[in-house]
Amino acid sequence: MNFDLTEEQAAMERMAKNFAEKEIVPNLKKEEFNRELVRQMGELGLFGSAFPEGMGGSASGFLAHSVVCETISTYDSGLRALFNLQAMTVPYAMMEWGNDSVRKKYVKALVSAQKLGCTCFSEPNAGSDIAAIETKVVDKGDHFLINGSKTWISNGTVADYAVVYCTHDRSLKHNGLCAIVVETKQRGWQPHEIPKLGDKASPIAEIGLEDVVAPKGNLLGEWGGGFKVAMTALDRGRISVGSGAVGICQACLNASVKYANERVQFGRPIRDYQMVKHLIADMVTYTETARLMVRRGAWLNDQGRPFTREIAVAKYFAGEAAVRAAGWAMEIHGGMGYSLELPVEKYYRDSKLYQVGEGTANIMRLLIADDALGLKKANRPRLKVPVDFRDLS
């Protein structure tokens, strides 16, 4: 078992770090969506690690994706969502479940960030319970017609393409779900931005869909097979979410070490006090544990092995670690942590999302516990593996 990054992965980590220091750090205080910055990230290949070269990627793998995502999130966790929307839950789902036409038209444009994507799961009455989705799709013969509403949709106000999860028959529950690629530049797509606590570099929206049209060829997977598409997309999305949480942990640790070395109280740097050392030790331990767990899940995916359980454990722990690390950083910084002068308050605001997005902490607990108790096995045989897409062009 080798825990060292390969030369390629280490080079990608350095590239992401250099980009962040040059392009992200100078604009951090703005906390707003920056379309030009996203374009630069796509042009640099930050979203393409898991994609074959024919789809605009570098074929570096999911572990490389995790490393790059973590690095960017260490500088601004608000950009973490892009690693789902321009990689995992949107274009990868299209590549995995779409036909050649869908792949050719949408995937490379999203991976390169020439176009922006979003994925539409949540609704006012359907969050963790995806079988409760009410958005309705009707087969009109030569096209699909979609009506309903979505909420908490990252990139919802700026996306060009969306993967919309909808139902053709609610009585069938999971078996009635469909996943359909929708182009948002049409009258029936009606987004409204939702103000939120953190993660402000990624706009989030509620969306009304009124007679939204999609070509028949834009169905992902089978008619009524959208649940499989959703579950595989969420598994891969949790690699990004877990990696982003590790980035927050590392940012909190970096800031706390710096402050503890510089801040003097009672004639001594606060690093000399046992309670501060205690918090630093916990932050190091939680950060490194979360990192190893997330990277194990990503590595398993690269090997084509089942990883649903492992990435659920990793995502759950990393989310808890992020919230704890942000709280500990606030304690170490005292009043300065609460001020707007230092970035710790931003880490605190951004961290909470990691307990909610891409499967809440409680849903992860249920998945993990059901597997351990023998009630429901989390890992099942893989339907498709990364090597299946290696030769796509």
Whether 309 maps to a domain, the answer reads yes
Residue 391 has what pLDDT? 85
Q: How many CA atoms lie within 13 A of 293 on its CB side?
A: 26
Distance from CA of residue 217 to its chain's centroid?
Answer: 27
For 238-266, give one letter per residue: b (16+ CB within 10 A) or e: bbbbbbbbbbbbbbbbebbeebbeebeee
Average per-residue pLDDT for the chain: 96
Structural element, H or E, at residue 64: helix 62-75
Domain boundary residue, one of 196, 224, 252: 224
Instruction: Please tell me whether residues 362 and 263 are part of one structural domain.
Output: yes
Q: Taking residues 277-296, report their average pLDDT.
A: 98
358 is catalytic: yes
- Residue 390's pLDDT band, with cuts at 50, 70 and 90, is confident
Instruction: Please tell me whether residues 245 and 183 are part of one structural domain.
Output: no
> What CATH number should be reported for the domain holding residue 366?
1.20.140.10
Q: Euclidean distance between the first and final Cα of the chain, in Å?
A: 33
> What CATH number should be reported for the domain holding residue 124?
2.40.110.10
Q: Are 104 and 96 spatial neighbours (Cβ–Cβ below 8 Å)?
A: no
Residue 84 has what pLDDT? 94
Q: Taking residues 346-357, report their average pLDDT.
A: 95
- Residue 127's pLDDT band, with cuts at 50, 70 and 90, is confident
- For 62-120, write each residue's pLDDT tens digit: 999 999 999 999 999 999 999 999 999 999 999 999 999 999 999 999 999 999 999 99
Instruction: Please tell me whether residues 238 and 295 are part of one structural domain.
Output: yes
Distance CA(59)–CA(67), nearest Å, equals 14
Q: Is the pLDDT of residue 393 over 80?
A: no
- For 137-159, write each residue's pLDDT tens digit: 999 999 999 999 999 999 999 99
Q: What is the CA radius of gyration of the chain?
A: 21
Domain that holds residue 49: 7-111
Instruction: Please tell me whether residues 261 and 369 are part of one structural domain.
Output: yes
Read off the tokens for 232: 């595989």
Q: Is the pLDDT of residue 1 over 80?
A: no
What is this structure's pTM? 0.96
Distance CA(346)–CA(364), nearest Å, equals 25
- For 175-208, write each residue's pLDDT tens digit: 999 999 999 999 999 999 999 999 999 999 999 9
Q: Which of 183, 310, 345, 358 is catalytic?
A: 358
